[in-house]
Amino acid sequence: MTAAPGSGTSRSPRRIGPFEVPAVGLGCMNLSHAYGVPPTPEAAERLLLAAVEEGVTLFDTAALYGFGANEELVGRVLAGHRERIVLASKCGMAGVDGRRVIDGRPETIRRTADEALARLRTDVIDLYYLHRLDRAVPVEESVGAMAELVEAGKVRALGLSEVSATTLRKAHAVHPVAALQNEYSLWSRNPEQGTLTAARELGVALVAFSPLARGLLTSTPPDPDGLSSGDIRRGMPRFGARHYPANLELRRVLWKIADDVGLTLPQLALAWVLSRGPHVVAIPGTRSVSHLRENMAVLDVEVPGELLASAGRVLNDATVHGARYNEATLAEIDTERCGRAG
């Protein structure tokens, strides 16, 4: 069941396990990984420090991002602000000999955590996610190893990423899960197939990654022909020639809805995600300080529920064109499916 749209957002904090954070955090992946050539170290540092100045407290990284480079970046830049932030990272998927490998074995999780602590320059990770479910390892075993990290004082709270409601419940029975990080936006509605409700029932925060639809709902949508060879969107059906023009047309309608009431399109998109429930937190990523400020400004905006409902009617799992991943990647992911195939 889909949560009913509410009105706007505010600076009231939202809870992730033992932590209270603003409803908008920062996804750090694109500073090192997945979206083509990363920014210079100096530009990435400026962005991270600007985020601290803008009141961001939740910073999200992972062992996979840049094959360790992103954790090193975040650790180096934010070491002096450690007491002011909630530091989140992930295990269970990393770079091995230049390849992305899913590995949820307990011994791998323990080793990855120690490596992350060193790169992040901290003695404890606030929120540690299982990045992907390893289908060769029961989730209970992976989460059991992560629970040992909590007992050892290396991790404060646990999370899961890209898993179903069934897997969430299995993991939560082993150790309380503080956060479930799944893709959630106007064009990626998978959480509405079960995890949005399950998270609320279990007291788990739903942390929405890619809330701006992989850049479609930003001020300048990506040009698929201009994406570099290392940009993961080149392999996503929604950005392919067969589907992207139709998705751009939906974006145009949403832009007008936002512009008519003095909002930017990213602000409308973020407000919609945050209206899904008080347990929802969004972690948009950006390389632009001005876009960062634009995103954070949504915390001071009240958006009428009917406007959010209108946005949701324009772009949803029935109107979006194309699947969110190709079939090979979808086979790796445990989340419920929705949206058009192709």
- SS3 string of 110-170? HHHHHHHHHHHCCCCEEEEEECCCCCCCCHHHHHHHHHHHHHCCCEEEEEEECCCHHHHHH
pLDDT tens digit at each of 342 positions of the chain: 233 344 444 578 999 999 999 999 999 999 999 998 999 999 999 999 999 999 999 999 999 999 999 999 999 999 999 999 999 999 999 999 989 999 999 999 999 999 999 999 999 999 999 999 999 999 999 999 999 999 999 999 999 999 999 999 999 999 999 999 999 999 999 999 999 999 999 999 999 999 999 999 999 999 999 999 889 999 999 999 999 999 999 999 999 999 999 999 999 999 999 999 999 999 999 999 999 999 999 999 999 999 999 999 999 999 999 999 999 999 999 999 886 655
Q: Enumerate the β-bridge partners of residue 96.
A: 99
User: What pLDDT score does 342 carry?
Assistant: 56
Query: What angle (nearest 5°) sits at the alpha carbon of residue 70, between those of residues 53 and 28?
Result: 45
CA 235 vs CA 30, 183, 189, 321: distances in Å: 16, 17, 20, 15
Neighbours of 1 (CB within 10 A): 8
User: What pLDDT score does 308 carry?
Assistant: 98
Radius of gyration of the chain (CA): 19
Amino acid at 158: L
What domains are defined for the chain?
14-213+267-301 (3.20.20.100)
Distance CA 256, CA 244 (A): 19
Two tokens, residue 210:
């890619």
Amino acid at 196: L
**Active site positions, annotated:** 65
CA 58 vs CA 53, 285, 332: distances in Å: 13, 12, 27
Amino acid at 279: H
Distance CA 213, CA 190 (A): 13
Distance CA 173, CA 156 (A): 17
Q: In the chain, which ranges are continuous DSSP H helix?
A: 41-53, 69-78, 106-120, 139-151, 165-174, 195-202, 244-260, 265-274, 289-296, 305-314, 327-330
User: What pLDDT score does 338 carry?
Assistant: 80
Distance CA 13, CA 288 (A): 24
Is residue 40 within 8 A of residue 330, CB to CB? The reply is: no
Q: Enumerate the β-bridge partners of residue 95.
A: 100
Query: What angle (nearest 5°) sits at the alpha carbon of residue 185, between those of residues 162 and 59?
Result: 65
